């Protein structure tokens, strides 16, 4: 049974909650919130499935765990047992960030291609309204040269 105070059934907000057992440090908890907010904002317009959205939480969570363990001396309680474990944890975290960055890059390229397609259609539609054939041809050449010089 649901009441009005509960999150919508498709909300993932509950997943973006740093457990007190992981970190009780207020500054680190705030850093977690900042990382999550920034990453969610950066991905706001991406068509992301649930697993991709949860990747944001895992990146932020594991970053905080990494930072908390790095605060402690290697070989002590709460710290990394040895330097190799710290290196492996960093490598693991970086692999997650690489996946997220690849997602952003693919989306940026897709958005760019879509926008350029729309610009092309607008230019062609506009040029088709130019009745003078020579003027239309000159404008097409100018647009082509301008797009090429801009690397488009």
What is the Cα–Cα distance from 129 to 144, expressed in whole angstroms? 18
Task: Decide if 83 is inside a domain.
Answer: yes
pTM recorded for the entire structure: 0.63
pLDDT beyond 70 at 111: no
- CA dist list (Å): 110 to 33, 41, 64, 104, 107: 29, 18, 32, 10, 5
Task: Decide if 101 is inside a domain.
Answer: yes
- Band of pLDDT at residue 108, cut at 50, 70 and 90: low
Task: Decide if 6 is inside a domain.
Answer: no
What is the Cα–Cα distance from 79 to 24, expressed in whole angstroms? 16
Task: Decide if 5 is inside a domain.
Answer: no
- Token couple for 118: 């729309």
Task: Decide if 56 is inside a domain.
Answer: yes
pLDDT beyond 70 at 4: no
Task: Decide if 1 is inside a domain.
Answer: no
pLDDT of 2 reads 47
Total domain count for the chain? 1
Task: Decide if 9 is inside a domain.
Answer: no
Between CA 27 and CA 107, with CA 37 as vertex, the angle to 5 degrees is 140
- Token couple for 103: 């997602």
Burial category of 62 from C-beta neighbours within 10 Å (exposed 0-12, middle 13-18, buried 19 and up): middle
Average pLDDT, the chain: 83
Query: Which residues form the domain of 121?
Result: 15-149
Residue 21 CB neighbour total at 10 angstroms: 6
């Amino acid at each position: 049974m649901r009441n009005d105070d509960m999150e919508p059934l498709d909300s993932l907000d509950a997943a973006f909650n740093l457990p007190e057992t992981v970190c009780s440090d207020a500054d680190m908890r705030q850093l977690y919130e900042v990382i999550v907010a920034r990453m969610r904002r950066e991905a706001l317009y991406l068509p992301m499935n649930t697993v991709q959205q949860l990747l944001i939480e895992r990146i932020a969570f594991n970053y905080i765990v990494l930072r908390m363990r790095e605060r402690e001396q290697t070989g002590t309680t709460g710290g990394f047992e040895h330097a190799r474990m710290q290196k492996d944890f960093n490598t693991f975290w970086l692999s997650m960030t690489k996946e997220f960055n690849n997602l952003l890059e693919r989306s940026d390229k897709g958005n760019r291609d879509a926008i350029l397609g729309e610009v092309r259609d607008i230019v062609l539609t506009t040029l088709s309204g130019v009745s003078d054939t020579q003027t239309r041809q000159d404008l097409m050449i100018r647009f082509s040269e301008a797009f090429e010089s801009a690397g488009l």
